[in-house]
Amino acid sequence: MEWSHSLTSELDLPIQVDRAAAAPLHEQLAAQFRRAILDGRLAAGARLPATRALAAATGVSRNVALATYDELFAEGYIEGRHGSGTYVAGDLQAMSGRAIPAPSGTPRWLRPLPDLPPADPEQPGTIDFRLGEPTTNQLPADAWRRVWQAVATEPVPTGYGDPAGEPLLREAIASYVRRSRGVICDASDVVVTSGAIQALDLVARATLLPGDSVGFENPGYPVARAVLVASGARIVPIGVDDDGLRVDLLSASRPAPLLTYVTPSHQYPLGVRMSLARRMALLEWALEADALVIEDDYDSEYRYDGPPLPALAGLDQAGRVAYVGTFSKLLAPSLRVGYLIGPAPLRDRVVRMKRLVDHHTAWPLQRALAAFIADGNLDRHVRRMRRVYAGKRAALADALAPIADRVTLRGLEAGLHVFLELDPALDAETTRQRARERGVVVSTLAGYADGGTPPNGLLLGYGGLEIPEIVTGATILRECLTH
């Protein structure tokens, strides 16, 4: 590494040359000239040394000095004056000689973000009853490996794929939803997305203008709420009771919301199932209000008690439901594959939006998942996991049974989490803190409620825990509630 303290007696500019660096010498010199010009050390109109003087001062060849100036000439940093020499370009005056202030506050060109739920990093060494966490170690590895090996032998498409998704996957999804959820559809009705949240985001982009009102379960899924707010929605909180969304409160909203977002199979987070009567009332409201219902069929695959109810989309006769599904809880959240089934005018808009956002979901993943479903692997996996999760649910319920006089478990009938409603004499936040001190992580409903006092209780996700962890964690939680 070599240093030159000054290029000439008139121009005091330290230049560093590192002959061991990967960057060519002329690029090293040009970069240092750029910085000096932009930060004002070399003012607009300043005369620069001749190439011979530059070469001598820096210990490089004249060819390197010429290449340095050629690069700066081409970029507009310097200019030549006939018979006079080389100078810093005069039209750079606006930038040079002026300190660039450090950014403070939010730039004018950034719009405010909606309230987002805080990051939820894994906490090693704890028993974490986090929501939305399935068991992934039961995935049939051999079957999964086979479909990926088959995809690896296929020629890679030379162009972009269909934004609506790979035809084979759309057909596989349509077949699966028809037999498992009673939704009458075919492949042309399906749009493949990068997860359920992208499906919701695309629907919001396709339908909402700033200020449009959206009915939303309260308490409800905070990420979905944030997605809708990001598209300009005005959220109208609608209460939830034991039968699901209060359609009577929705009907009383003025003006009528343009959209309404619901999780009828296993309400997120309270865990209740929307009754058939309430589903029919919601569809009737949508027809009368000329509105669209977004059905997030969260946790519908895992039902343990009682017969499943058909999806809203399966009951819909008027094209008022946009049905959103995902493979995150069935297989693994990291796959990021979801889908949308909805009326044709909405699908067309969503496909156009999908092309703008990411053109299409990754082709190899779509092909592998299509083969996995078509071979019957998904159906077998869901049946097996239903038994696994039923065992975990039973372990949780048994461990908390001794304090049944102080708590009520809600949402046991389905899904991968429960709501532990506490006696009014108990405080959810205090209990959460006590449990955390003993290495058990649970959450309250503070981040799920939109205004008012949230229900007094704790949310316990058991999908990603093993039975011994569930029993130990529930035992500690029980002790926190009784001492």
Choice among 73-87, 209-223, 388-402 with the minimum mean pLDDT:
73-87
Q: What is the mean pLDDT of residues 159-178?
A: 95
Q: What pLDDT score does 11 carry?
A: 64
Please state, in angstroms and as integers, the Cα–Cα distance from residue 384 to each residue in 138, 241, 378, 469, following that order. Answer: 9, 32, 10, 20
Q: Are 183 and 316 found together in one domain?
A: yes
pLDDT value at 103 more than 80: no
Helix (H, G, I), strand (E, B) or coil at 128: strand
Domain enclosing residue 71, as ranges: 2-92
Using the 3D structure, point to which of 353, 376, 399 is the last residue of a domain: 376
Q: How many CB atoms lie within 10 A of CB 211?
A: 8
Q: Are 437 and 345 found together in one domain?
A: no
- Is the residue at 418 inside a domain? yes
Structure tokens at 30: 């040009």
- In Å, the largest CA–CA distance within the chain is 98
Q: Are 176 and 304 found together in one domain?
A: yes
Higher pLDDT, 476 or 116: 476
Q: Are 356 and 407 found together in one domain?
A: no
Q: 284: which residues sit within 8 A by CB, 6+ positions away?
A: none
Residue type, 102: A
Q: Are 327 and 410 found together in one domain?
A: no
CATH of residue 416: 3.90.1150.10
- Is the residue at 103 inside a domain? no
pLDDT digits (tens, 9 = 90+) for 244-270: 999 999 999 999 999 999 999 999 999
Q: What pLDDT score does 344 carry?
A: 94
Burial of 235 (0-12, 13-18, 19+ CB in 10 A): buried
pLDDT value at 149 more than 70: yes
pLDDT value at 170 more than 90: yes
Q: Which residue has the tokens 């209460």?
A: 239
Distance separating alpha carbons of residues 54 and 32, to the nearest angstrom: 13
Q: What is the mean pLDDT of residues 324-337?
A: 91
Task: Work out the pLDDT band at 93, boundaries 50, 70, 90.
Answer: low
Q: What pLDDT score does 102 carry?
A: 58
pLDDT digits (tens, 9 = 90+) for 423-451: 999 999 999 999 999 999 999 999 899 98
Q: What pLDDT score does 81 carry?
A: 87
Number of domains in the chain: 3
Q: Are 268 and 368 found together in one domain?
A: yes
Q: Are 71 and 181 found together in one domain?
A: no
Structure tokens at 208: 């909402």
Q: Are 390 and 410 found together in one domain?
A: yes
- Is the residue at 70 inside a domain? yes
Q: What is the mean pLDDT of residues 71-76?
A: 92
Q: Are 391 and 372 found together in one domain?
A: no
The mean pLDDT of the chain is: 91
Helix (H, G, I), strand (E, B) or coil at 382: helix
Three-state secondary structure of 169-181:
HHHHHHHHHHHHH
- Is the residue at 31 inside a domain? yes
Give CA torsion, residues 163, 166, 172, 173, to 10 deg: -20
